[in-house]
Amino acid sequence: MRLLGLDLGTVRIGVAVCDELGLTVRPLSFIARHGGRRDLLAVERLVREQEAGGVVLGLPLNMDGSEGPAAQRARRFALSLQAHLAPLEVPVHLWDERLSTWEAEGILRQEGVRPSRRRQKVDALAAALILESYLAAQTAQARETAR
């Protein structure tokens, strides 16, 4: 099943997508945040365009695993998005995204991407890292269950 990965920021929402088998993930784009219903409609449009069967939204936990204001915002967004996508029967999954943006920035720095271009790419790459982490955990869980 194809999934969308989302990295929710205050200015942008990074977007990534995986293939039907969940084997490869690629950064897709970002959505400029406008708030409320406009953000939900933008995600819905991408769900339809990509024929996604689910959404994985990064949950920015603190390093000790607790939830701060950003995690609470992500939870509220997830609830709104789940309600908005309910007619499409597309579930929304929250996934621990600790350090995903930091890791994405490091990757872009290593690749020699100029700072002015990093802002355009970091959110989608962070979304891809979140989705890859989710898929790896699902694969590991499926292997464990099969034993």
How far apart CA 125 and CA 86 sit, in angstroms, is: 27
Contact 3, 52 (CB under 8 A): yes
How far apart CA 40 and CA 42 sit, in angstroms, is: 5
Give the pLDDT of residue 98: 80
Higher pLDDT, 114 or 90: 90
Q: Taking all residues of the chain, what is their mean pLDDT, rounded to a whole number?
A: 92
76-91 pLDDT per residue, tens: 999 999 999 999 999 9
Give the pLDDT of residue 82: 98
92-109 pLDDT per residue, tens: 999 998 877 778 888 888
Contacts of 8 (CB under 8 A, 6+ apart): 57, 58, 60, 73, 74, 77
- 114 confidence band (pLDDT: 50, 70, 90): confident
- 11 confidence band (pLDDT: 50, 70, 90): very high
- Region 12-17: mean pLDDT is 97
Give the pLDDT of residue 20: 93
Give the pLDDT of residue 96: 92
Domain 3-146 grouped into CATH 3.30.420.140: yes
- 143 confidence band (pLDDT: 50, 70, 90): confident
Domain parsing of the chain, residue ranges = 3-146
Written as six digits, the tokens of 9 are 């920021």
- Region 25-45: mean pLDDT is 95
Q: Is the pLDDT of residue 4 over 90?
A: yes
